[in-house]
Amino acid sequence: MALQTVLLAEPRGFCAGVDMAIKALAWMVRIFEPPVYCFHEIVHNQLVVDRFERLGVRFVDDISEVPPGAPIMLSAHGSAPEVVDAAYARQRVVVDAVCPLVTKVHHEARRRAEQGYEIVYVGHAGHDEAVGTLAVAPESMHLVESESDLPALFSDIGDDAPVALLTQTTLSTDEWDGVLRRTQSQYPQLWTAGRSDLCFATTNRQAAVRAIAPRCDAIIVIGSANSSNTLALAHVAAEAGCPMVQRVNGADEIDMDALHSASVVGVTAGASAPEDVVQAVVERLNPVVGVERVRVTEEDEYFPPPRGLRELMPLVEILSAFSVGGDPRAARSGGSFTDDRNVDTALTLGALSARSVGQS
């Protein structure tokens, strides 16, 4: 049977934090001679990383690999305080593209630690966001990856100190709910954020998948294997009753044979997966009846460029106008940098992808 319908989950793909980080790095590669350095992958998506590498960005996992004075960007996942300090100590231009919602969790970790709390942090060991957040208050924070880690932790923490619960922003709501319930029952005075630390982009994309899952014979989740929110989407799709879930980096990875009896296939994308990949996936699925968009909520959040880039703004406006062929006078009086909110990240990425190092 030919595949009849694709259900396209909305929202999906790039979130406000990823938009901000990609646009900021795009400015860096247009303004500075290569190489521009980036601490950790700017976002967890191999296609995005590959595109920036072709533009002369070098991704490093240690600040000491960056030549002193070279421009550097710190990734959207947030960096450990010692990494941020080392970057500012060594480099002339530092742009920290940490998502403000990750910064909020760092701030809470610091605050609760200063107040004497033991902090239970729910996250994935080794994930960039978890590594950065745990480093904010290493003496007070305890990583748990699942409910099964809790009994041993409760016995370590004991009953004397106040306890707070924080989380990585991109977990599935199921992972979070279980740990929350159990920790609350152990510590009735538990402090946790009024609304969980799971960010709006995470919960919105999961709600959209939950909405389509019962109608789908299969769901394609687009995103990289190291993207926490992508894996959470796949988990939610399966938990919500979809009998088959395929996580793919791109259209060429879809197992079409496995879809031979599927009539309705859902499509979603993690917060760092580009929209052109979504369109390529839909084209490959080639539904007979067509595409139905299923929108669960509007998302109009916007994060302005990172402070380090805003401080460069006068220089950025003039240099960028020359480097992208615009009129510097127009740029000074309200060019594209000041219109950042309306700049389409996917288009920016696509336009840059057409270039490589050495081209303008």
Q: Which are the catalytic amino acids?
A: 129
User: What is the x/- site pattern for ligand SF4, positions 241-280, by CB under 6 A?
Assistant: ------------------------------x---------
Quickly list DSSP for 299-359. Answer: -----PPPHHHHHTHHHHHHHHHHHTT--HHHHHTT-TTTTGGG--HHHHHHHHHT--TT-
CB 305 within 8 A of CB 340: yes
List, edge to edge, every strand of the sheet that includes 94-96: 57-60, 36-39, 72-74, 94-96
* Spatial distance between the Cα atoms of 253 and 265, rounded to a whole number of angstroms: 15
Would you say 99 or 267 has its CB closer to ligand SF4? 99
Minimum Å gap between C-beta 21 and ligand SF4 is 7
CB 172 within 8 A of CB 206: yes
Region binding ligand SF4 by CB under 6 A among candidate stretches 32-40, 96-104, 243-251, 318-326? 96-104
For the chain, how far is it from start to end, CA to CA, in angstroms? 48
How many residues form the binding site for ligand SF4 (CB under 6 A)?
Answer: 15
- For ligand SF4, the binding residue among 79, 183, 202, 224 (CB under 6 A) is 202
By CB under 6 A, is residue 15 in contact with ligand SF4? yes
By CB under 6 A, is residue 223 in contact with ligand SF4? no
- For ligand SF4, the binding residue among 24, 38, 86, 102 (CB under 6 A) is 102
CB 12 within 8 A of CB 297: no
Minimum Å gap between C-beta 231 and ligand SF4 is 13
By CB under 6 A, is residue 5 in contact with ligand SF4? no
By CB under 6 A, is residue 17 in contact with ligand SF4? yes
By CB under 6 A, is residue 169 in contact with ligand SF4? yes
Torsion, Cα 97 124 87 96, to 10 degrees, reads: 10
By CB under 6 A, is residue 16 in contact with ligand SF4? yes
The CA-atom distances, in angstroms, between 299 and each of 94, 203, 212, 294, 347 are: 30, 11, 18, 14, 19
Site for ligand SF4 in 72-91 (CB under 6 A): 76
Region binding ligand SF4 by CB under 6 A among candidate stretches 14-22, 132-140, 141-149, 249-257? 14-22
* Spatial distance between the Cα atoms of 221 and 170, rounded to a whole number of angstroms: 15
Describe the crossing of helices 46-54 and 16-31 by its angle, rounded to 10 degrees: 10
Minimum Å gap between C-beta 102 and ligand SF4 is 5
Positive/negative CA dihedral, 22, 193, 113, 166: negative
Residue nearest to ligand SF4 (CB): 17
By CB under 6 A, is residue 281 in contact with ligand SF4? no
Burial class (CB in 10 A: 0-12, 13-18, 19+), 333: exposed
- For ligand SF4, the binding residue among 6, 73, 101, 218 (CB under 6 A) is 101
- Looking from the CA of 227 toward its CB, the CA atoms found within 13 Å total 29
Minimum Å gap between C-beta 214 and ligand SF4 is 25
- For residue 139, the SS3 value is coil
Torsion, Cα 8 10 15 18, to 10 degrees, reads: 10
Which residue type does 230 have? T
Would you say 75 or 336 has its CB closer to ligand SF4? 75
By CB under 6 A, is residue 170 in contact with ligand SF4? yes
Minimum Å gap between C-beta 98 and ligand SF4 is 9
By CB under 6 A, is residue 199 in contact with ligand SF4? yes
Region binding ligand SF4 by CB under 6 A among candidate stretches 12-20, 89-97, 284-292, 316-324? 12-20
By CB under 6 A, is residue 36 in contact with ligand SF4? no
Residues that bind ligand SF4 (CB under 6 A): 15-18, 76, 99, 101-102, 169-170, 199, 201-202, 229, 271
